[in-house]
Amino acid sequence: MSNYTLFSSTILSLLQKMQKHYKVVRRKNRQLCVIGIDESHLLREGSKKIDLILLPSLYWIKKIALPVLKNSDAQTLAPSIFDGLIPPDEKYDYVAYPSQNGKFILIAFSKTRIRQSIIDAGIDPKNIGDIFFAQSEFSPLNDPINFGGKKVILVDDGVVFYLPSCYVEKNSNWNTIRKNFHSSFNTYPYHFFEDHSMDASSLKITYLIAGAIIAVFLTQITLFKQIYDQLQEEKNSILSANHLPSSTLLIQNIKESLLKKESQQNTLRESIHYLQSFPFQHKSLQLLSSDNERIESISIRDEHIDIVFILQSDKRAEAIRNYLSKRFKIESIVAKGTRTTVRASLW
Amino acid sequence: MVKPAVLFFFFILFFISGWMLNSSVSNIKGSVQLQAMENQKLSEEGKTIIALKDKWESKVQLKQTIKKLRTFPKLTINTKRGSRYALQYSQLNPDELNKLTNELFNSSCIIKVYELKRIDVSHATVYVEIES
């Protein structure tokens, strides 16, 4: 398990090193520029892409000991620490860097001010690569640095200051240290300084659209509710007009009972008609003479049919059974002389 | 100015509300369609039931049928037993038998008992009981 942990941490550190190396190589070809309020100094020429270092004139810095361990926690506390110390007329965002002895360097900056400085310096935001705070880039330096202007970068107790050069006796020119200068990895992309907040008009439009969509839904619900209520009323009127019970099951029972009644009465009528027009002359019945053969009686009572035939011989009974069984369920057939009595169920 | 996090929260809230509203609309729309179908079915069944009741349970129809059957010739027995009318026709020739049978079959009364007895080759007695 420990071998596995060691292996994965080695791979991870290797990947991080590769990533850093890639960034260093990528940055080597870029222009490097420091910008402050109403000033910018090109430190290195290169490709179209520009890396920017923001001078301390663009933001507020405070070094403070805080009872927290993480930068993010310190960043959370930053607004209350700066409260009352910096002009309240601007909207600020905050970053935090670790310093010596458990202290943190807190930076309060205005995104609008930084964007404006970038525009004033004539830099197209599309060409910006990485953006650094001077605090993270120059804090390791010992001597004041002059970029060629009337001000110098001075590091005192880990805090980077940007002062008029007359305040220091001796300063180094940027060109003397540029070979040993490597930018850090505390970078921010340009969109970090963009304002992602929506203005009041866009917000109003959004609210209007959302409100309109909700209104459409609510209107639909109200309309459908009205239609549903109308249909309920219609249902009640159908029930009362047809004298129907409210239960669907009861309605089905009534319908089935009536249909059964109709079916039975139709069957009864068809059976009577069938028997009254009994085909004695039919070939399959092999009638000898219709004059002496007839239906003596038909009686339909309690779901049964009793038919009495007068036939010339007993053999005729079988032919009659065969013929009647095609239509009725024969229950019994009794032949006595010329009289044959057939009992069948009606349904 | 509104922060993206707040906007995102509102977007999620709006999305959930929209989804719930859409579900409500779908539910009520489904209920409306179901109710419309049920009403149509109910209306059709109501018509069927009314037609069947008119045919098989109408007192007016029954009275008219009984009235016709009573005026039919050769009626020998004409009584009412409880809810049943008993009618007997004697000495019916084939033509009269056909007419009586047709009259009986074309009416929508409920025949409970039907008895036919042949007296000779061309005459028969018919006894019917009709339920009121």
| Whether residues B21 and B65 fall in one domain | no
What letters, b where the CB count within 10 A reaches 16 and e where it falls short, cover A61-77?
Answer: bbbeeeeeeebeebbeb
Q: Which residues of B touch A241 (CB under 8 A)?
A: 46
| Whether residues B49 and B93 fall in one domain | no
CB contact under 8 A, B56 and A297: no
First to last CA, chain A: 85
| Whether residues B52 and B71 fall in one domain | no
Domain boundary pick from B57, B78, B101: B57
Q: Which residues of A touch B29 (CB under 8 A)?
A: 220, 224
Q: What is the rounded CA–CA span in Å between residue A333 and residue A325?
A: 11
B62 and chain A in contact, CB less than 8 A: no
- In chain B, DSSP finds a helix count (H) and a strand count (E) of 3, 4
Nearest chain B alpha carbon to A227? B32
Q: What is the pLDDT at residue A281? A: 55
- The count of C-alpha atoms lying within 13 angstroms of the C-alpha of B24, restricted to the half-sphere facing its C-beta, is 17
B116 and chain A in contact, CB less than 8 A: yes
**Testing the interface with B: which of A251, A258, A271, A339 to mutate, by most B Cβ within 10 A?**
A258
Q: What is the rounded CA–CA span in Å between residue A246 and residue A266?
A: 30
Which residues are CB-neighbours of A94 under 8 A, at least 6 positions away? A75, A78, A79, A82, A106, A107, A108, A109
- Compute the count of residue pairs across chains A and B with CB atoms less than 8 Å apart: 130
B53 and chain A in contact, CB less than 8 A: yes
Nearest by CB to B46, from A91, A244, A296: name it.
A244
Number of structural domains chain B divides into: 2
Lowest mean pLDDT among A164-168, A209-213, B33-37, B75-79: A164-168
| Whether residues B81 and B42 fall in one domain | no
**Testing the interface with A: which of B21, B102, B121 to mutate, by most A Cβ within 10 A?**
B21
Q: What is the rounded CA–CA span in Å between residue A6 and residue A8?
A: 6
- Could you tell me what percent of chain B has a pLDDT over 70? 96
Q: Which residues of B touch A269 (CB under 8 A)?
A: 104-105, 111
CB contact under 8 A, A276 and B116: yes
| Amino acid at the residue A295 | I
For chain B positions 66-85, those within 8 Å of chain A (CB to CB) are: none
| Whether residues B108 and B92 fall in one domain | yes
| Whether residues B89 and B38 fall in one domain | no
Angle between helices A248-276 and B4-56 (to 10 degrees): 30
| Whether residues B13 and B39 fall in one domain | yes
Q: Which residues of A touch B117 (CB under 8 A)?
A: 296-297
Q: What is the pLDDT at residue A136? A: 84
Q: What is the pLDDT at residue A287? A: 44
The residue assigned the tokens 């040993």 is: A180
Nearest by CB to B24, from A221, A294, A300: name it.
A221
| Whether residues B39 and B52 fall in one domain | yes
For A136, phi then psi, to 5°, come to -80, -25
B101 and chain A in contact, CB less than 8 A: yes
Local confidence band at A198 (pLDDT 50, 70, 90 cut-offs): low
| Amino acid at the residue A287 | L
Nearest chain A alpha carbon to B5? A197
| Whether residues B63 and B127 fall in one domain | yes
| Whether residues B69 and B30 fall in one domain | no
| Whether residues B70 and B111 fall in one domain | yes
Q: Is the pLDDT of residue B8 over 90?
A: no
Nearest by CB to B118, from A195, A259, A294: name it.
A294
Render pLDDT for A27-48 as a digit per residue (tens, 0 to 9). 677 788 888 887 777 777 777 8
Local confidence band at A89 (pLDDT 50, 70, 90 cut-offs): confident
Render pLDDT for A124-139 as a digit per residue (tens, 0 to 9). 888 888 899 988 888 8
Render pLDDT for A227-259 as a digit per residue (tens, 0 to 9). 999 999 999 999 998 888 988 899 999 999 999
B63 and chain A in contact, CB less than 8 A: no
Q: Shortest Cα distance from A68 to chain B (angstroms)? A: 25
Render pLDDT for A254-299 as a digit per residue (tens, 0 to 9). 999 999 999 999 999 988 888 877 766 555 554 444 557 778 899 9
| Whether residues B65 and B36 fall in one domain | no
Domain hosting residue B102, numbered range: 59-131
Q: What is the rounded CA–CA span in Å between residue A234 and residue A244?
A: 13
Q: Which residue has the higher pLDDT, A82 or A10?
A: A82
**Partners of residue A86 on adjacent β-strands:** none
pTM score, whole prediction: 0.55
CB contact under 8 A, B110 and A276: no
For B78, phi then psi, to 5°, come to -145, 90
